[in-house]
Amino acid sequence: MRSLRPLFDSNRRWSEEITARDPEFFGKLVGQQSPDYLWIGCADSRVPANEIVGLLPGELFVHRNVANVVVHTDLNCLSVLQYAVDVLDVEHVIICGHYGCGGVHAALRNDRLGLIDNWLRHVQDVMKKHHLRLAELPDEASRLHRLCELNVIEQVLNVGQTSIVQSAWDRGKALEIHGWIYDLHDGLLRDLTVGIRSAEEYAEVYRRVIED
Ligand code: CO
């Protein structure tokens, strides 16, 4: 088995580099974190949240799971969302999916992989909701491409429907939910333009998605 020593060596170099640039960096972080954004993304190792957007520790609050799914019974994800919105007072929640997502692909193909199949049922629900549009696409690659996008859009709607976000909007808190997708081919993010800042905008985006 490979030794994990290189990870510790690399960690030491990273810490030294950061400290060389800003000797106070870690000292300031110990005091408190005040990120401006919550990132909900895929657990995929090729989509490291902070690196993609060039943010340092302390600048991005992160929750990741397979296929960036937000489920209303997932206490883990909801707790992250509630803490970010109510305690850290973030004003932007970013749902970021990615093209070529293995979880979305497994859902699309109805693969049998084990326990994870149950989790991916949520992505299959998205697929079923949009099956007419997906069926019009010429091949599996284009269906995967579109389902990755649709999955992000549906998660944006799920976040907007949580009691946490609804309550925040009710009390007038500035809070915008964004749907983005990352392309592994060029390392670039794309905004899916389903940003929601209020209950009114939620209804508008919901209609747009349903009618599409
Ligand atoms: Co993925």
- pLDDT tens-place string over residues 97-141: 999 999 999 999 999 999 999 999 999 999 999 999 999 999 999
Distance between CA atoms of residues 164 and 59, nearest Å: 22
Say how many Å lie between the CA of residue 3 and the centre of ligand 1.
Answer: 27
User: Residue ranges of the domains in the chain?
Assistant: 1-31, 33-211
DSSP lists the bridge partners of residue 180 as 96, 191
Given 3.40.50.300, 1.20.1540.10, 3.40.1050.10, 3.30.70.1050, which CATH number is that of 33-211? Answer: 3.40.1050.10
Residue type, 139: D
Known catalytic residues are 42, 44, 46, 98, 101
162 pLDDT tier (thresholds 50, 70, 90): very high
212 pLDDT above the threshold of 80: no
Distance between CA atoms of residues 203 and 77, nearest Å: 23
Distance between CA atoms of residues 106 and 103, nearest Å: 5
Say how many Å lie between the CA of residue 23 and the centre of ligand 1.
Answer: 36
- Report yes or no on whether pTM surpasses 0.85: yes
Distance between CA atoms of residues 190 and 179, nearest Å: 9
The residues placing their C-beta within 5 Å of ligand 1, an ion, are 42, 44, 101, 103
Distance between CA atoms of residues 48 and 167, nearest Å: 30
Distance between CA atoms of residues 146 and 104, nearest Å: 10
